[in-house]
Amino acid sequence: MPEMTGGEALVQSLKVEGVNTIFGLPGVQLDWAFDALWRARDEIRVLNTRHEQATAYMADGFARTTGKVGTALVVPGPGLLNATGALSTAYACNSPVLMVSGQVQSDLIESGRGLLHEIPNQLGMVRSVTKWAGRAMTPQEVPGLVHHAFRELQSGRRRPVEIEVPPDVLQKKADVTLLEPYQPDRERPDTDLIEQAARALGQAERPLIFSGGGVPGSGAWEELQRLAELLGAPVIMTENGRGALSDRHPLGMTPLVSPVLTPEADVILAVGTRFLQPLTMPWGPKAGQTVIRLDIDPEEITRVARPDIGIAGDAKLGLAELAERVQRHNRTRPSRAEEFAALKAEATAQLNSIEPQAGYALAIREELPEDGIFVSEMTQVGYWSRQGFPVYQPRTFVGAGYQGTLGFGFGTALGVAVGNPDRKVVSINGDGGFGYQMSELATLMKHGITNLVTIVFNDSAYGNVRRIQRQQFNEQILGSELLNPDFVKLAEAFGMNGARATSPQELRRHLHAALADGQPTLIEVPLGEVPSIWGISLKRA
Ligand SMILES: Cc1ncc(C[n+]2csc(CCOP(=O)(O)OP(=O)(O)O)c2C)c(N)n1
Ligand SMILES: [Mg+2]
């Protein structure tokens, strides 16, 4: 049994689990972890940020677009609290983020003395934004803690996990046994239930599929496509599910078509999705329609309503097995190709008539390669993009999910870019959201993150809020107007290229140049008040 510090036990255990990148921000409780990271610096890259929120956002962006665990490292108390908005986003988006945090000295936890960074009940606090959280109190416990963390991160529903190690435990030397890496195993769905579902789908005249973040999350897009094609079933993808089927695929749809297609379907399969909107809208499933749910999280299957067939298990295994068995029951159906093409065309026409959002978003799409990754934000072009931005490949559209976290985008995009060095990444931001993480321009430059282009739509406002105050509250503009820096000069102050675009054509030109020459670039797009996209509703043409 080799002798090592708790810090070495932590770093070696992370290495065993395949961690090669850590997004971190140091401090005194982490000194012995950084000591060990220094010795492991050829195998584990440490990227420091300017605020702890960015460590967890970067880990989330890294995780969601690579399928690997994303790892963050922060000091306890305020450091960890600073990261909780990002953890809540990762929680909402089923993202396997490992948050490693410090603690106060082990024998004084919960003493209430007011030690540096002490907060009461840190584990309890972080449990509200994680799937699981645990602590090691000796160096010998560290490998088991990391191993358990990876079990939680890579089994069942993927969500963030926190582990914490007090500074004296990181410093202490002991004989430590390292463990083998956790071997993830996919959870096989019940065969009888799959057979029942396959029969219902096979016999359906008008089957419909709702597909959520669980499909890209479990790497199930090929199985989804196979099943959809066998059934000729349209696939409605949620924001987190976008790209599972290419928007070019005749069956690939965005939720705009749900109110039209859902009432007409006889059998509906919802896979890897909370299925919340359909279940709570007037156009949602009614008695007489068969609802099948396939989800890794059994609680999700019955949370809002009990489906006719509920199947707990992995989406990739479940969809593969469904496709296999559907063939024994599958009826022939008249082609609906024309109907779907017309519906898609109508949805596209409605969305593309909303300007200037459509023009700007489509300018980005024109320049971003097919495998390029688009990181959205809670901004006007972002809302439009949820449904309107064409997505051609899985894991190439990143949003904030149900958390709707303003300011998540830029840090998340930095992590996406680090995790996908061979791909181009575009981060869109409002001036409000960008303000949350603009100091991370330093992180971009320091770590040479050159495959990311950053766009800031500047309307000098929390535009969404201002529009509501104007229109619904009789011009009571309060707390929604913003004073901004000159974004072009800001970029230049960080040593980046700064550019300004006042039309979609200009945005396209700047984006083209920035993507081609790989120079870190921020493009500001001044914007006036833009129309709301809420309230578009699709009727059949
Ligand atoms: C963490 C968080 N705080 C506040 C909000 C409420 N909120 C939603 S959109 C928005 C304004 C966004 O402004 P900006 O980023 O400039 O985008 P714009 O609407 O102007 O395009 C605010 C304050 C939120 N969604 N999340
Ligand atoms: Mg704004």
Condensed to tens digits (0 to 9), the pLDDT of residues 23-48 reads 999 999 999 999 999 999 999 999 99
C-alpha 54/C-alpha 72 separation (Å) is 9
Q: Is 406 in the pocket of ligand 1 (CB under 6 A)?
A: yes
Structure letter (DSSP) for residue 502: S
- Near ion ligand 2, which residues have CB within 5 Å? 430-432, 459, 461, 463
Helix (H, G, I), strand (E, B) or coil at 494: coil
CA 126 to chain centre: 19
| Percent composition of the chain: helix, strand, coil (DSSP 3-state, to 5) | 45, 15, 40
Question: How far is 153 from 20, CA to CA, in rounded Å?
Answer: 16
Does residue 537 surpass a pLDDT of 90?
no
Asked whether 378 lines ligand 1 (CB < 6 A), one says yes
Mean pLDDT confidence for 180-204? 97
Mean per-residue pLDDT of the chain: 97
Q: How far apart are CA 216 and CA 223, in angstroms?
A: 11
CB 373 within 8 A of CB 396: yes
CA distance 157 to 154: 8
Q: Exposed, middle or buried, 483 (CB in 10 Å: 0-12/13-18/19+)?
A: exposed
Number of helical (H) and strand (E) elements in the chain, helices listed first:
24, 20
Which regions of 52-139 does DSSP assign to beta strands (E)? Answer: 70-74, 97-101, 132-135
Check if the beta carbon of residue 529 is closer than 8 Å to that of residue 463. yes
Residue that the structure tokens 């279940």 belong to:
279
Residue 51, pLDDT > 60, answer: yes
pLDDT digits (tens, 9 = 90+) for 143-161: 999 999 999 999 999 999 9
pLDDT at 536: 78
| Centroid of ligand 1 to alpha carbon of 406 (angstroms) | 5
Q: Quick check: CB of 457 below 6 Å from ligand 1?
A: yes
pLDDT band at 533, cuts 50/70/90? confident
Q: What is the band of 541 on the pLDDT scale with cuts at 50, 70, 90? A: low
Q: What's the pLDDT score for residue 145?
A: 98
Average pLDDT over residues 229-240: 97
**Ligand 1 centre and the CA of 526: distance in Å?**
17
Averaged pLDDT, 492-515: 98
Q: Using a 6 Å cutoff on CB, does residue 461 contact ligand 1?
A: yes
CA neighbor of 30 nearest in space, from 80, 70, 67 = 80
User: Which atom of ligand 1 is nearest the CA belonging to 382?
Assistant: 21
The protein residue with its alpha carbon nearest to ligand 1, atom 22, reads 462
3-state secondary structure of 469: helix
**430 CA from centroid of ligand 1 (Å):** 8
Q: Does an H or E element contain 425, and which?
A: strand 425-430
The residues near 209 (Cβ < 8 Å, ≥ 6 apart) are 224, 227, 228, 231, 233, 234, 235, 236, 268, 269, 270, 271
Res. 540: pLDDT tops 80: no
d(CA 520, CA 422): 15
1 falls in which pLDDT band (50, 70, 90)? confident
Q: What is the spatial distance between Cα 427 and Cα 412, in angstroms, rounded to a whole number? A: 9
* Ligand lying closest to the C-alpha of residue 467: 1
431 lines ligand 1 (CB under 6 A): yes
Tell whether omega for the bond before 356 is within 30 degrees of 0, i.e. cis. yes
Q: Both tokens of residue 91?
A: 């929680």
CA distance 485 to 439: 12
CA-wise closest residue to 13 among 102, 98, 104: 98
pLDDT band at 539 (very low <50, low <70, confident <90, very high): confident
Which atom number of ligand 1 is nearest to the Cα of residue 431?
16
Closest listed ligand to the CA of 458 = 2
Q: Report how far ligand 2's centroid is from the alpha carbon of 461 (Å).
A: 4
Whole-structure pTM value: 0.97
**Per-residue pLDDT reduced to its tens digit, 251-305:** 999 999 999 999 999 999 999 999 999 999 999 999 999 999 999 999 999 999 9
